[in-house]
């Protein structure tokens, strides 16, 4: 077993204090130690975006990031986007526009979409496509996903 | 199976460099190359894992006394949105925009991309075009020593560089390009960014009185390392960019590159794209 | 309250054709949904399989002793430890192998306390192989003295299919033009975002509960049981939410019985979950094929015959993949009026990976050929391409030579609608002229069409679906259906249909399914059948419930049941919507009367179709549908990059049920065809996959998606629910040849061997220019 280290960080607004093996990825920490299974494994090499989360306001592939790097940082996963049972506007838009089929890629897709809109409230459709390039979906063909994001941008505009 | 015996996360550069001096250290920064390499068994951990992400001074982009300095922990996203880079070295922003995906750009560091020394490492191409040097820090006689090496001498093979095990690549530095500098980057598609490049080409130089000077040309994924195209540079240096010069450069580019067949492309296609991209970029330079 | 409603009138409204949200979407969007990949059972062990990683070999010895000693390892099994039990379409496969016939072959399996320990244990297993000469192409498989792959099939021949109609020699003699081309379609794979997973758990009575991603839970029991030597009745199949299927889960694969064997022997639940590389290497592919197609027509543009000789690389084991000629021949003999047909299909064993079912099932392959031949004929005839197709387009009431009955056929309408919407004919002419002009970027437009079963496909003796429907005292409806929800949206459609019939809000309908102990029998999610078959079943069950309620209400209101209706949660007068009583009150009255009754009905819907026989002459689907796609592309003639800018679709959907779900199926289905056409390809070297990752196996991403314009033609299918037809496969089938025809329009080059990768296109253009 690899050596462990103690980490302190916040996740979805709550402080976490946990000892982790130093070779663990953030994805495995979330799924296996914190029971935050909304974040998905689908490729393990940053090519599909299913494991996308926000760290200090920036989206990253949690399958590539080492858990030790979370020390002192703020993490938001898909579980932190909704408040109680109320859907976040981005989540609601995905539901309303039929963007969810099997849904497996959706946690990563929604986190990334939300990040894009936060960063640029006047996002164009082309910019959305570029911003979602790292999120693979096999069900939707992306069209309804883009419709859902566009509707949120429209709401804000 | 290798096991990590020690984990260290220094906050001071000197400490990081000193730890490195003891040997047997795996450095982790953005993790975007390291993690898949470990998972696929292409690499294993050394006894010490050193996370350098907390060394704040390595995260800055600066312009001082005509020199631009990009700390090794600067992410590709930081480069993409940097005002300094946009103003003086836009080719880096353009390349950053064609790099992997948003999520990887947010994590991948410039130092990691350079040290990973992939023949297809996208960010390396504009750095070669800008004539950057790398700063390598090591611990000697109780103090930090820094040497500078030109990037075009840095790579020795796929994944191999002249960096010693006890050295940390702390920054890439380059002279602020002249106001006449024009730089162009092209990568094969069809996806805008999320592609391991089949061929990348970068061309830069000063356009003065219709002539192309201080020309640097770089090619990616066409040889064992990212490389400068010296024959192409010679074909362009001091020349007026016209149809003849461009065609001469296209021929020269074919001499510079020595691509191989792999699952991503055949030698034929790589050679073909080198010509196509060289011509395309030079036409773009003309239009600027 | 009751006085108020007594004066209320409720108009008749309809939900059919409206946009209905998927009921499970909120939980999926918030990360609450627990997929099978996320599941952890108490005491669960993690299984992992040692795959051969070589294509053809004898196993000399296996030493598992070191692996067994590793702390945390509970069990290591090999073929030596398991009885010789078989699985697969012709029972030529086994959970664990004595001999290696392909890279995927399962040599040993471990059950351990964590995935990491299981992985470490695999590395400690020592296997001594003797490699054998391999067979990696159809030609090699056919060769005299070729290595034999399956001892039971010494000539390396697997499944064979034939269909003939009419006099081929005469048809050839009557033809003014005969096209003769071979199309080679490549290996692609499903790439479900959720990797393959099974969790097996035996109880103390010997009953197996298997948590599975299967798309066909009821037949799955029958296919899984022989591999375990247990009775199918002793298997319960639970299908938790799954990350995509697309046909991939229509066979039993060895990892599933392996999980069960590990669970049986350890007495603990065992989960096997693939990582992405395992998924790429060990999952089914689309059936690759070499399709030699000949098409004849007269100088007046009347098709005379189609002759197709299809050779398939069966891989090492026979799966549902090698049965795709069943659909290929329907396209060969239909699609346009073809009086004379000669279809042959033969699969050959090789040491390559083996295929499976995949959205579009054979038709993606065949339409890639037939739709290009239609284009090529129109050009040879110098005939308006729409006119040519319309001349040959089948019409309502016609039969195909295989006796597919086209009761409602909207091919002509699909053709004219898509052509007009995209200005196809004018653009085709313009881009043909532009081809000769200078310029790096060339535009092209291409049209393709096809036919597909749209009312199930009776490949088993029954193609039916069972439904149980009950209503409680609060007018909430529970529908227990055999139909599985795997992301495609039958949950929304059944809710919508039941709501339509019973006049209750769609939110008041709860679907119970995906558990074989609860649901009645169903054939599974395949063949574009679920809305048609399960939708009909749910509707019929709801109508039965409605009759029961209205019969009770009619006694109370002293009117006939025919004069009543259910609307908006009330029993009303049908003619003016005058409220009679509240529905929940009515249900309680039925329940709490001297002769109590509750609403609880069942239905088994069997579509009006005939089983696919050995002669392949039967009306095997209750409906057929056509679609036309028109693709507009820009080709970079230097890099060879093909950018699809727009796809205009026209499809006979019978009737729109859930418009949002329908659009979503069109868009997602098209994306599969786009990847097949342009970028996706599994690259094998002597039977070993060279690109088992998303870096080098390129599924479409958001920037690659074209603009989509959809036209739904409503032919009002007599047999379908509210007139609907099955829809989900045609968008995958039709787009690739439309793109190929568009690339031809742009470049003058035919691509017989997809995918049209940048390199392939650039090379062909360069060679043509430098010829």
Residue C354 inside a domain? The answer is: no
Residue C272 is part of a domain; what is its CATH number? 3.90.1170.50
Report the distance separating Cα B124 and Cα B76, nearest Å.
12
Q: Report CA B145 to chain centroid distance, whole Å.
A: 23
Residue B189: predicted pLDDT: 86
The CA dihedral of B215, B220, B223, B227, to the nearest 10 degrees, is 30
pLDDT tens digits along C232-275: 999 999 999 999 999 999 999 999 999 999 999 999 999 999 99
Q: Are residues C689 and C552 in the same domain?
A: no
Contact A133 B38 (CB under 8 A): no
Cis amide leading into B190 (omega within 30): yes
pLDDT-derived band at C5, boundaries 50, 70, 90: low
Residue C314: predicted pLDDT: 97
Looking at residue B177, what DSSP letter applies?
P
Nearest-Cα distance to chain A for B111, in Å, is: 16
Q: Are residues C274 and C127 in the same domain?
A: yes
Residue among B24, B43, B102, B193 with most chain A CBs within 10 A, to mutate = B102
pLDDT tens digits along A77-115: 999 999 999 999 999 999 999 999 999 999 999 999 999
Residue C104 inside a domain? The answer is: yes
**Strand runs (DSSP E) across C454-585, as ranges?**
465-471, 477-481, 509-512, 564-567, 570-573, 579-582
- Is it the case that residue A14 has pLDDT exceeding 70? yes
- Strands, sheet with C441-453, edge to edge from the N-terminal-most edge strand: C441-453, C624-636, C642-652, C707-713
Q: Are residues C119 and C59 in the same domain?
A: yes
Q: What are phi and psi of C140, to 5 degrees?
A: -65, -35
Give the residue-averaged pLDDT of A36-42. 98
Residue C2: predicted pLDDT: 47
State which residues form the domain around C124. Answer: 36-133+194-282
Residue C200 forms beta bridges with which residues? Answer: C210, C270
Nearest-Cα distance to chain C for B83, in Å, is: 27
Residue C537 is part of a domain; what is its CATH number? 3.30.365.10
Q: Are residues C555 and C640 in the same domain?
A: no
Chains A, C: CB pairs < 8 Å: 176
Report the distance separating Cα C251 and Cα C72, nearest Å.
32
Residue C686 inside a domain? The answer is: yes
Residue C443 inside a domain? The answer is: yes
Minimal Cβ distance to A141: which of C19, C671, C695: C671
Residue C84: predicted pLDDT: 85
Q: Are residues C44 and C25 in the same domain?
A: no
Contact B266 C759 (CB under 8 A): yes
pLDDT-derived band at C277, boundaries 50, 70, 90: very high
Residue C83: predicted pLDDT: 87
- Is it the case that residue B8 has pLDDT exceeding 60? yes
What are the distances in angstroms from CA B126 to CA A100, B85, B152, C134, C200? Answer: 40, 12, 12, 46, 53
Report the distance separating Cα C443 and Cα B235, nearest Å.
35
Residue C335: predicted pLDDT: 86
Residue C4: predicted pLDDT: 52
Contact A44 B6 (CB under 8 A): no
Q: Report CA C116 to chain centroid distance, whole Å.
A: 34
Q: What are phi and psi of C326, to 5 degrees?
A: -55, -40
Domain definitions of chain B by residue range: 6-51, 60-175, 181-287
Q: Are residues C210 and C90 in the same domain?
A: yes
Chain C hits for B196, CB-CB cut-off 8 Å, are 695-696
Do C649 and C627 contact (CB within 8 A), yes or no? Answer: yes
Residue B288: predicted pLDDT: 76
The helix (H) or strand (E) run that includes residue B145 is: strand B143-150
- Is it the case that residue B2 has pLDDT exceeding 70? no
What are the distances in angstroms from CA C94 to CA B257, C106, C250, C280? Answer: 50, 9, 17, 20
Considering chain C, what is the average pLDDT of its residues? 97
Using N-to-C axis directions, what is the helix angle for C530-557 and C583-591, rounded to 10°?
Answer: 70
What are the distances in angstroms from CA B213 to CA B152, B248, B257, B276, C26? Answer: 19, 16, 22, 22, 60
The CA-based angle C575-C581-C584, given to 5 degrees, is 125
Q: Which residues are CB-neighbours of A126 under 8 A, at least 6 positions away?
A: none
pLDDT tens digits along C582-636: 999 999 999 999 999 999 999 999 999 999 999 999 999 999 999 999 999 999 9
Residue C350 inside a domain? The answer is: no
Contact C31 A77 (CB under 8 A): yes
Residue C108 inside a domain? The answer is: yes
Give the residue-averaged pLDDT of B189-200. 92
Does residue A107 sit at the B interface (CB-CB below 8 Å)? no
- Is it the case that residue C3 has pLDDT exceeding 70? no
Chain C hits for B265, CB-CB cut-off 8 Å, are 759
pLDDT tens digits along B52-77: 999 999 999 999 999 999 999 999 99
- Strand C624-636, strand B48-51: pairing: unpaired
pLDDT tens digits along C320-377: 999 999 999 999 999 899 999 999 999 999 999 999 999 999 999 999 999 999 999 9
Residue A156: predicted pLDDT: 56
**Hey, what domains does chain A have and what are their CATH numbers?**
4-80 (3.10.20.30), 89-156 (1.10.150.120)
The helix (H) or strand (E) run that includes residue C257 is: helix C255-266
CATH no. of B60-175: 3.30.465.10
Q: Are residues C425 and C540 in the same domain?
A: no
CATH topology assigned to domain B181-287? Enolase-like; domain 1 (3.30.390)
Q: Are residues C98 and C44 in the same domain?
A: yes
pLDDT tens digits along C515-561: 999 999 999 999 999 999 999 999 999 999 999 999 999 998 899 99
Give the residue-averaged pLDDT of B89-112. 97
Residue C67 inside a domain? The answer is: yes
Q: Are residues C553 and C634 in the same domain?
A: no
Q: Are residues C710 and C639 in the same domain?
A: yes
Residue C150 inside a domain? The answer is: no
Could you give the number of structural domains in chain C?
3
pLDDT tens digits along B122-177: 999 999 999 999 999 999 999 999 999 999 999 999 999 999 999 999 999 999 99
Pick the residue from chain B with its C-alpha nearest to C117. Answer: B1
Do C43 and C31 contact (CB within 8 A), yes or no? Answer: no
Using N-to-C axis directions, what is the helix angle for C385-392 and C424-434, rounded to 10°?
Answer: 130
Contact C668 A38 (CB under 8 A): no
Chain A hits for B194, CB-CB cut-off 8 Å, are 47, 133-134
Query: How is residue C148 written in tokens?
Result: 């034999």
- Final residue in a domain of this structure, among C262, C282, C302: C282
Residue A157: predicted pLDDT: 44
Nearest-Cα distance to chain A for B26, in Å, is: 11
Q: Are residues C29 and C49 in the same domain?
A: no
Report the distance separating Cα B130 and Cα B183, nearest Å.
8
Nearest-Cα distance to chain C for A115, in Å, is: 15
Q: What share of chain A is helix, strand, coil (3-state, %, to 5)?
A: 35, 20, 45
Residue A154: predicted pLDDT: 87
Candidates B175, B124, B183; CA nearest to B154 is B124
- Final residue in a domain of this structure, among C267, C282, C297: C282
pLDDT-derived band at B120, boundaries 50, 70, 90: very high
Candidates C495, C469, C494; CA nearest to C483 is C494
Contact A100 C693 (CB under 8 A): no
In a 13 Å sphere around the CA of C757, the CA atoms on its Cβ side amount to 21
Nearest-Cα distance to chain B for C759, in Å, is: 6
Looking at residue A115, what DSSP letter applies?
H
């Amino acid at each position: 077993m690899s050596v462990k280290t103690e980490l302190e960080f916040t996740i979805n607004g709550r402080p976490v204090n946990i000892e982790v093996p130093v070779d663990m990825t953030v994805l495995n920490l979330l799924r296996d130690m914190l029971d935050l299974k909304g974040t998905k494994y689908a490729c393990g090499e940053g090519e599909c975006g299913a494991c996308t989360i926000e760290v200090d306001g920036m989206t990253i592939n949690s399958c590539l990031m080492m858990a030790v790097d979370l020390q002192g940082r703020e993490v938001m996963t898909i579980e932190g986007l909704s408040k109680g049972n109320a859907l976040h506007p981005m989540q609601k838009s995905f539901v309303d526009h039929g963007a969810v089929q099997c849904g497996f890629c959706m946690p990563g897709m929604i986190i990334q979409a939300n990040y894009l809109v936060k960063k640029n409230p006047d996002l164009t459709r082309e910019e959305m496509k570029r911003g979602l390039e790292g999120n693979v979906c096999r069900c939707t063909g992306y069209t309804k996903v883009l419709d859902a994001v566009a509707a949120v941008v429209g709401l804000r505009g | 199976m290798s096991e990590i015996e020690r984990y260290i996360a220094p906050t001071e550069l000197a400490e990081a460099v000193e730890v490195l001096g003891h040997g047997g250290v795996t450095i982790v920064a953005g993790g975007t190359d390291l993690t898949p390499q470990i998972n696929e068994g292409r690499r294993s951990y050394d006894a010490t894992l050193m996370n350098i992400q907390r060394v704040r001074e390595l995260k800055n982009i600066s312009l001082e006394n005509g020199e631009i300095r990009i700390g090794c922990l600067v992410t590709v996203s930081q480069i993409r949105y940097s005002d300094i880079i946009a103003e003086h070295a836009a080719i880096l922003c353009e390349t950053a925009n064609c790099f992997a995906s948003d999520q990887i750009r947010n994590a991948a560091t410039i130092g990691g991309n350079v040290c990973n020394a992939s023949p297809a490492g996208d960010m390396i191409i504009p750095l070669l075009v800008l004539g950057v040097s790398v700063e390598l820090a090591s611990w000697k006689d109780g103090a930090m020593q820094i040497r500078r090496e030109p990037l075009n001498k840095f790579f020795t093979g796929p994944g191999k560089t002249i960096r010693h095990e006890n050295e940390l690549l702390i920054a890439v530095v380059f002279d602020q390009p002249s106001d006449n500098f024009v730089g162009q980057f092209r990568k094969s598609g069809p996806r805008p960014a999320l592609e391991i490049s089949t061929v990348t080409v970068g061309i830069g130089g000063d356009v003065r009185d219709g002539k192309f000077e201080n020309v640097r040309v770089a090619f990616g994924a066409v040889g064992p390392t990212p490389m400068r195209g010296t024959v192409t540079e010679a074909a362009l240096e001091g020349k007026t960019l016209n149809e003849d010069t461009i065609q001469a450069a296209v021929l020269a580019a074919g001499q510079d590159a020595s691509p191989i067949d792999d699952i991503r492309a055949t030698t034929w296609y790589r050679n073909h794209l080198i010509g196509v991209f060289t011509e395309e970029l030079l036409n773009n330079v003309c239009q600027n | 309250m009751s006085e108020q409603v007594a004066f209320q009138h409720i108009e008749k409204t309809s939900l059919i054709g409206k946009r209905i949200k998927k009921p499970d979407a909120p939980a999926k969007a918030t990360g609450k949904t627990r997929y099978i990949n996320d599941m952890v059972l108490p005491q669960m062990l993690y299984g992992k399989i040692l795959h051969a990683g070589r294509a053809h070999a004898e196993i000399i010895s296996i030493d598992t002793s070191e692996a067994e000693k590793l702390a945390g390892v509970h069990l290591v099994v090999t073929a030596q430890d398991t009885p010789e039990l078989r699985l697969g379409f012709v029972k030529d496969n086994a959970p664990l192998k004595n001999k290696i016939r392909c890279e995927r072959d399962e040599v040993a399996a471990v059950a351990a306390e964590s995935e990491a320990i299981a992985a470490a244990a695999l590395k400690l297993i020592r296997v001594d192989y003797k490699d054998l000469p391999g067979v990696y192409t159809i030609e090699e498989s056919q060769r005299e003295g070729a290595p034999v792959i399956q001892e039971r099939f010494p000539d390396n021949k697997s499944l064979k299919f034939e269909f003939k109609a009419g006099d081929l020699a005469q048809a050839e003699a009557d033809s003014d033009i005969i096209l003769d081309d071979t199309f080679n379609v490549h290996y692609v794979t499903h790439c479900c975002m959720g990797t393959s997973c099974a969790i097996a758990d035996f109880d103390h009575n010997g009953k197996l509960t298997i948590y599975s991603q299967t798309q066909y839970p009821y037949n799955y029991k029958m296919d899984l049981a022989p591999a375990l030597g247990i009775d199918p009745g002793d298997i319960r199949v639970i299908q938790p939410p799954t990350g995509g299927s697309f046909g991939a889960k229509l066979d039993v694969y060895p990892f599933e019985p392996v999980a069960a064997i590990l669970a049986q022997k350890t007495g603990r639940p065992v989960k096997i979950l693939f990582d992405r590389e395992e998924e790429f290497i060990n999952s089914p592919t689309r059936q690759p094929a070499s399709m030699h197609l000949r098409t004849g027509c007269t100088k007046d543009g009347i098709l005379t015959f189609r002759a197709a000789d299809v050779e398939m690389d069966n891989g090492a084991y026979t799966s549902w993949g090698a049965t795709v000629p069943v659909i290929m021949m329907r396209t060969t003999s239909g699609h346009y009026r073809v009086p004379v047909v000669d279809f042959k299909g033969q699969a050959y064993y090789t040491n390559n990976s083996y295929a499976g079912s995949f959205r579009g099932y054979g038709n993606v392959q065949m339409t890639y050929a037939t739709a290009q031949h239609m284009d090529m004929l129109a050009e040879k005839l110098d005939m308006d391409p729409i006119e040519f197709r319309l001349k040959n387009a089948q019409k309502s009431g016609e039969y195909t030579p295989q006796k597919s009955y086209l009761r409602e056929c909207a091919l002509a309408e699909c053709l004219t609608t898509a052509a007009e919407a995209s200005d196809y004919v004018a653009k085709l002419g313009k881009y043909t002229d532009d081809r000769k002009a200078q310029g790096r970027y060339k535009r092209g437009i291409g049209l393709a069409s096809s036919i597909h079963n749209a009312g199930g496909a009776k490949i088993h003796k029954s193609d039916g679906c069972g439904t149980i429907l009950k209503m409680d005292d609060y007018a909430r409806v529970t529908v227990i259906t055999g139909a599985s929800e795997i992301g495609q949206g039958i949950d929304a459609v059944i809710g919508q249909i039941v709501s339509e019939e019973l006049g209750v809000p769609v939110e008041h309908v709860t679907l119970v399914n995906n558990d074989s102990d609860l649901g009645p029998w169903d054939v599974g999610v395949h063949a574009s059948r679920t809305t048609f078959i399960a939708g009909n079943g749910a509707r019929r069950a709801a109508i039965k419930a409605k009759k029961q309620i209205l019969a009770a209400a009619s006694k109370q209101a002293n009117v006939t049941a025919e004069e009543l209706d259910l609307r908006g949660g009330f029993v009303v007068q049908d003619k003016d919507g005058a409220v009679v009583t509240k529905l929940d009150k009515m249900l309680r009255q039925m329940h709490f009367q001297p002769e109590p009754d509750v609403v609880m009905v069942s239905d088994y819907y069997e579509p009006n179709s005939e089983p696919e026989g050995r002669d392949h002459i039967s009306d095997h689907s209750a409906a057929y549908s056509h679609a036309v796609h028109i693709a507009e592309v820009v080709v970079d003639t230097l890099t060879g990059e093909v950018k699809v800018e727009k796809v205009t679709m026209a499809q006979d959907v019978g009737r729109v049920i859930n418009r949002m779900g329908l659009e979503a199926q069109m868009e997602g289905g098209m994306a599969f065809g786009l990847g097949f056409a342009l970028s996706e390809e599994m690259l094998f070297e002597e039977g070993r996959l060279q690109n088992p990752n998303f870096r080098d196996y390129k599924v479409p991403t958001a920037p690659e998606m074209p603009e989509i314009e959809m036209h739904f033609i409503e032919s009002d299918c007599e047999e379908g629910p509210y007139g609907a037809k099955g829809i989900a496969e045609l968008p995958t089938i039709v787009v690739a040849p439309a793109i190929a025809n568009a690339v031809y329009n742009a470049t003058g080059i035919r691509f017989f061997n997809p995918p049209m990768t940048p390199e392939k296109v650039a090379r062909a253009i360069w060679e043509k220019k430098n010829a």
